[in-house]
Amino acid sequence: MFKTSLHRIFAAAGFAALLSCSNVQSKQKAAVLPAVKTGSGIHVVELFTSEGCSSCPPAERLIDALKAKGDSNVFVLSYHVDYWDHLGWKDPYSEAAFSDRQRRYAQRLSLQSIYTPQVIVNGSEEFVGSDENRLRASLQKTNVNAIAIQASVKRIANGNVQLSYSSSSELPLLLNVALLQPEATTEVKRGENEGRTLHHVNVVRALKTVDAQRSGTIEFALPTELSKTLLAMIVFAQEKGAGKIMGATQLNIPL
């Protein structure tokens, strides 16, 4: 278990203005992210965040801008961790499983602590989530897209969601399937972000990780409040042990 650092508040040059603690109103504009030429292959950007963390909104605005660019080879996921929940505000999207995923990354990347906001790119590079310069540089690198993933998704009779997939994997890989809520907004009543209205994108509502097979199906039970919500999935393959992400695809879930 790694000691949790609840504050690592520093920003990249050119993005410091977004670290202001002024109120964040609803329907705010995303951070301006100038054109980024991404390297070849796919890029999976995993943000670890919390509504209880006052330094997280700038990072969320940055990945909002990244998603808004619409690059087909960039996949954005936002995990809300639960270790802030006892400090005045319980994040409605937080899950202990997401904190555990972040701890596994910390172990793999030889970090002494976990913190928010943190970004992991392609399972192999980490930095403060509001660091625009680091994010840009990371996305410009080449990431070998070694695994082709074919997938389809549907809602089934019991109201659950079922994913069917096939892959070209010949390696010992893990297949991660993230159920996403593409947009979410919260009026925070307490804690460090009290009085702010926070906007989130690609909120991971559930994550399942299995040993990758040549083909298979994975089923999700939808939370009641999401039964009539537009949802999406990101499916990505990851090396066992090293954690490097080797392939990804995204699907919209029909109503």
Between 29 and 185, the higher pLDDT residue:
185
Residue 12: inside a domain: no
CA-wise closest residue to 114 among 205, 8, 206, 19: 8
Q: Where are the beta strands (DSSP E) in the chain?
A: 3-4, 43-49, 74-80, 113-114, 118-121, 125-128, 149-155, 161-167, 173-187, 197-211, 215-220, 231-239, 245-253
Residue 24: inside a domain: no
**Residue partners of 183: CB distance under 8 A and separation at least 6:** 199, 200, 201
Q: What's the total number of domains in the chain? A: 1
Residue 23: inside a domain: no
- pLDDT score recorded for residue 33: 60
Residue 65: inside a domain: yes
What token pair was written down for 149? 């993933």
Residue 19: inside a domain: no
Residue 6: inside a domain: no
- pLDDT score recorded for residue 108: 95
Domain span at residue 144? 43-253
The C-alpha atoms of residue 235 and residue 122 are separated, in whole angstroms, by 13
With cut-offs at 50, 70 and 90, classify the pLDDT of residue 220: very high
Residue 7: inside a domain: no
Residue 246: inside a domain: yes
- pLDDT score recorded for residue 34: 56
With cut-offs at 50, 70 and 90, classify the pLDDT of residue 144: confident
> DSSP character for 110?
T
What token pair was written down for 223? 């939370």
Residue 79 sits in a domain of what CATH number?
2.60.40.10
Between 81 and 5, the higher pLDDT residue:
81
